[in-house]
Structure 1
Amino acid sequence: MGIPHFLAIPFPIQGHINPLLQFSHVLVTHGCKITFLSSDENYRKLKGERDAAGHGKTIDPNIKFVSLPDGVDPEDDRKDQTNVISTTIRTMRVKLPMLIQDVNALDSHNKISCIIVTKNMGWALEVGHQLGIKGALFWPASATSLTSFNSIQRLIDEGTIDSKTGLPTRNQELIQLSSNLPLMEAAAMPWYCLGNAFFFLHMKQEMENLNLAEKWLCNTTFDLEAGALSTSPKLLPTGPLMANENNILCSLWEEDRTCLEWLDLQPPQSVIYVSFGSMVSLKPNQFNELALGLDLLKRPFLWVVREDNGFEVNDACEFRGSQGKVVSWAPQKKVLSHPAIACFISHCGWNSTIEGVYNGVPFLCWPFCSDQFMNQTYICDVWKVGVGFDRDENGLISKEEIKKKVEQLLVDEEIKERSSKLMEMIIKNKTQGDQNLNMFINWAKD
């Protein structure tokens, strides 16, 4: 039996590239060979960060990078996910068989033995299936969100949701995906809150492709999502992945590491960390309310304001006073593990959720779309390690609400204790994650 040769294909956004690249590094440490396929644009970004030495971070030389065009025009808005998904599928699909042929020709003794994809790239599993190559899914979100997408057809058949829109067929429908999972509002379903039938119909089709994968890998642990993991024998929790990270470059963006030195100067559990991930953008009036709310708190804060957010870092700096630091991108795992961090104002994307939980940091939940509302349900109602914000009559989270909820969280000793216990549980779960990883690697061997 040879060593597995994985062709890793993430959807071309940071929230998919980062975890799959991280997982690829883990596979390499177990002796696997990786060919990592990205879009031409992201290949240039990764190469640029690597050539700049990535501030002490490296990409393992055993990971070979290849790229294909994604078909998105330079003038197109890459935040328009409808266009990016459609164009990527249409453009990359026709070019993938030749790329596989070229990669295999370079090493005929160790051809690609398994294609591993993230969400929206299930078409590549179909291509691999036609070529007799094994397929696996690396899901970049929670196991519960994957279970929800895999339940779409059943929910339609039961008359719970509409087959064209995914909207509930009855008002204020509560949905229970399985008897082992909590009741959730229909609005928490990841296709519903996007408010676009395209995503629902796309994921309905996508699940047909993703079911071609024999293994579904999730960066989660059994005790975090036991109910979801029991819904399919394909589901393998391989988390927490961040425990394996060692100065590897996974980000497309340059991290401002001066924030770590700044954190070193702050008292223990004093800093409010604010980050909404790689995709979410605040509208100007909400941006201002957040800035004013942080100022009202009169506490140290670290705020990530991306340069593509429509604001300059300097815009936020005007509000920061003497107690805050604003950066365009942060080394989040390092930040969340820092003893100065008191709480995390988060959009509740899964990468941020698992990183916060792993470090025992309490949450203030500010979800926007996709699976983020579902993750908030777990954080606030299931694990009970955070609180949510209430919006005013204009749909805004006001500066007073921000101040009130942060102060409420910071004195809630029960939430702090549950956060610590959840962290200990996840660390213990790592043994099972490692066992599942070894099982997966053995399955992928020729």
Structure 2
Amino acid sequence: MIVFWQVGPQSFAELIEKLGRTGYPVDCVIYDPLMPWALDVAKRFGIVGVAFFTQNLVVNSIYYHAHLGNLQAPLTEEEIFLPGLPKLQHQDMPSFFFMKIVQDPVVLELVVAQFSNIDKADWILCNSFYELNKEIADWTMKTWPKFRTIGPSIPSMFLDNQVKDDERYVVAKFTSEECLVWLNDKPKGSVVYVSFGSIAALNEEQTVEMACGLRDSGSYFLWVVRDSDQIKIPKDFEKKSEKGLVVTWCSQLTVLAHEAIGCFITHCGWNSTLEALSLGVPTVAMPQWSDQGTNTKLIVDVWKSGIRAPLDEKQIVRRDVLKHCIREILESEKGKEIKSNALQWKNLTAAAISKGGSSHKHITEFVDSLFHLQADS
């Protein structure tokens, strides 16, 4: 990481110079704030610098308050109160404020450093939409007048279908053919989809409990388990049957959009959280680390589009608990209410990115500003 920070600015500056010499001058740099040096390089060349946050507003706000010195790791307060946010407890905070990772605070320093030069940015964009967190969005826009929510960053074909030829996921559809064939003959809203993303990994004990919980629930399930984790699945567990299918990868958006999906067991990474909200899929939350506990707090207590799977003293979700969670989502009155809430968020998401919606207005405002800048120059 240290080497990257040393080499990155120089390489980026050389790229901008090369593009300028070859007739392709750079007018705007959109960068991930985890690399704040990109903004410094852009400003050196007099280029518009735009920060694009890929995590949610609440998590960004927590890290910003840490940058201001209002939060210190490890946290000692049992409850945390911050402007515009719901009351937070330890399980709701990003994991970098706790655990053994605090002994090596590099990661926490990295996420907090996103705000080291943020005031120099011409625009600050976020992969979210206004209606998800109105109060914190308003607070953030007061802090940074050029802050805008422009999400979710999901292809139009899964949302409002306004971009008629939006076929960027067509390859993923073909590579998910086995999943789709299996899903196609399942009843509407009957399948439990299970995936923990590309980084989070369940330990062997939790994997065994997951397998047994899925099997004991009696529900249909589609479970994504990476190649490297397949060995953790019990040897007597059937990986392909009428009731269940275990795969190493699938197109998550394509699967979540399928009418057979009834709920999503997830680690609650921000992309997975946004995708579930955007497609109206209720969630069973099993956060692992990073921002996932904060996302879970919002899912359960603010957006009310899912439930949290309780942990035992070993921090494991046991099979009986998992079975109960699945049945609660798919079969109970509370599950019906959660499903109704999830569908409302789906409608709000589509409205936000449709013409006249909050995200549509924000991205239009941003793009128009770039055209005006070019016209003035």
TM-score range, shorter chain: 0.7 to 0.9
Establish whether residue 94 from structure 1 lines up as the match of residue 94 from structure 2.
no
Residue 345 (structure 2) pairs with residue 422 (structure 1) = yes
Query: How far off is 1:127 after superposition?
Result: 1.2
* Corresponding residue for residue 72 of structure 1: none
Q: Aligned letter for 1:183?
A: K
Matched, 1:438 2:364: yes
Of residues 213, 220, 223 in structure 1, which corresponds to 2:131? 223
* Most deviating of 87-96 and 397-406: 87-96
| Offset of residue 368 of structure 1 | 0.9
1:396 aligns with 2:319: no
Displacement of 1:366 in angstroms is 0.6
TM-score (norm 1): 0.73
2:37 to 109, 115, 123: 123
CA distance in 1, matches of 2:192, 2:57: 28
User: CA separation of 1:143/1:357 partners in 2, compared to 1, >3 Å: closer, same or farther?
Assistant: same
Question: How large is the Cα RMSD of the aligned pairs?
Answer: 2.5
Distance 1:216 1:392 in 2: 40
In the TM superposition, residue 255 of structure 1 has moved relative to its aligned partner by 4.5
What does residue 225 of structure 2 align with? Answer: 305
Provide the residue aligned with 2:149 in structure 1.
237
| Matched length | 350
Partner of 1:205: 113
Q: CA 1:87–1:193 in 2, change beyond 3 Å: closer, same or farther?
A: farther
SS at match of 1:151: helix
Q: Note the residue ranges of structure 2 that are not aligned, 5 or more in a row.
A: 158-165
Indicate if the aligned counterparts of 1:137 and 1:216 stay in contact, CA closer than 8 A.
yes
Which of the residues 164, 167, 179 maps onto 2:74? Answer: 167
- Which residue of structure 1 lines up, in the alignment, with residue 162 of structure 2? none
Q: 1:255 to 1:348 in 2, by over 3 A?
A: farther
> Would you say the 8 A contact 2:270–2:295 is kept in 1?
yes
Change in 2 beyond 3 A, CA 1:207/1:315: farther
1:357-406 deviation per Cα after TM superposition (whole angstroms, max 9, x unaligned): 11111110011111111110110000111111111222211111111111
Q: TM-score, normalised by structure 2?
A: 0.85
Q: Which runs of structure 2 are paired with 1:243-392 in the superposition (5 Å)?
A: 243-245=155-157, 246-248=166-168, 255-309=175-229, 311=231, 318=238, 321-392=241-312
Pick the aligned partner of 2:19 from 80, 95, 103: 103
- 1:177 matched to 2:82: yes
Whole-Å Cα distance in 1 between the matches of residues 91 and 223 of structure 2?
Answer: 28
2-structure distance, mates of 1:129, 1:250: 38
1:321 to partner: Cα distance? 4.5
Q: Within the alignment, does 1:405 sit opposite 2:328 as a pair? A: no
Measured after TM superposition, the shift of residue 171 of structure 1 is 3.9
Unaligned runs of 5+ in 1: 1-84
- Given that residues 307 and 313 in structure 1 are in contact (C-alpha distance below 8 angstroms), is that contact kept between their aligned partners in structure 2? no
Per-residue CA deviations over 1:7-42 (Å, capped at 9, x if unaligned) read xxxxxxxxxxxxxxxxxxxxxxxxxxxxxxxxxxxx
Structure-2 separation of matches of 1:250 and 1:125: 35
